[in-house]
Amino acid sequence: MNDDVVNWLRQPGLGKYAKIERERRFLLSEMPSEASKPRLIEDRYIVGTRLRLRRVEVGSQVVYKFCQKVRPDENEPSTVAITNIYLDEPEYRKLCLLPAATLRKTRRIWRIGHDTFVVDEFHDDLAGLLLAEIELPDSSYNLSLPPQIGTEVTDERFSGGYLAHASSDEKAHLLT
C-alpha cells in the first residue's frame, strides 16, 4: 500500500509538501551596492496562527502566496519547515479579511561568490532595519561572511512574525 495512504495523518510542517529551510539572518548597516532586483513584499501574519499571506510585486507583476512556517525544533532557530500555496487575486483578497499584522519591505538579491543573500529593507515603523538572510543547503555548510555583514540575529526576535506583531517599544529596542 502507498505510504501516502497509510501516513495521511501528519503534523504541521511534516510531509512531502513541507520544505525544510536553514536560514541565517544578519544585521547590515547599509544596503550593499551590489544588491539588485528589488521586489516589494507585503506580509500579513494572521493573528493567532503560524500562517502568513504574502503579496510580492515586481513592476506590474504580482504573486500571491499563503504560507505556514513551523520550527521542527524550537532549540534550532535557523531551521524551519515551510509550506506554500500560490493564490490568485480573488483568493488573496478573501484571505485579507482575516485579522493580521502587516509588515512591508523591499527585498533585493545580493550575490557574493557562490552565496546568495536576500537583503530586506523594512518600511513603516521598522524603517532603518536592514537584514541579510541566506538559506544554507545543509547545517554543515561552511559560510564565509563578507565584511559588510554585521551581527547575526538568527533568532525569533528578527523573524517576520515577531517583527509584525512586536509593540512599538519592542521595535524601537531592535532598531537601536
Domain ranges of the chain: 12-174
CA distances from 91 to 16, 103, 128, 136 (A): 24, 20, 32, 32
What three-state secondary structure class fits 106?
strand
Residue 145's closest CA among 10, 27, 14? 27
Average pLDDT over the chain reads 88
Residue 71's closest CA among 86, 84, 81? 81
The pLDDT value given to residue 5: 56
Q: What is the mean pLDDT of residues 40-48?
A: 97
Q: What is the mean pLDDT of residues 168-172?
A: 89
- Per-residue model confidence as pLDDT tens digits over 9-42: 666 666 677 777 788 899 999 999 999 999 999 9
Per-residue pLDDT at 129 exceeds 60: yes
Does 2.40.320.10 match the CATH number of domain 12-174? yes
The pLDDT value given to residue 34: 92
Q: Which of 107-116, 132-141, 149-158 has the lowest mean pLDDT?
A: 132-141
Per-residue pLDDT at 2 exceeds 90: no
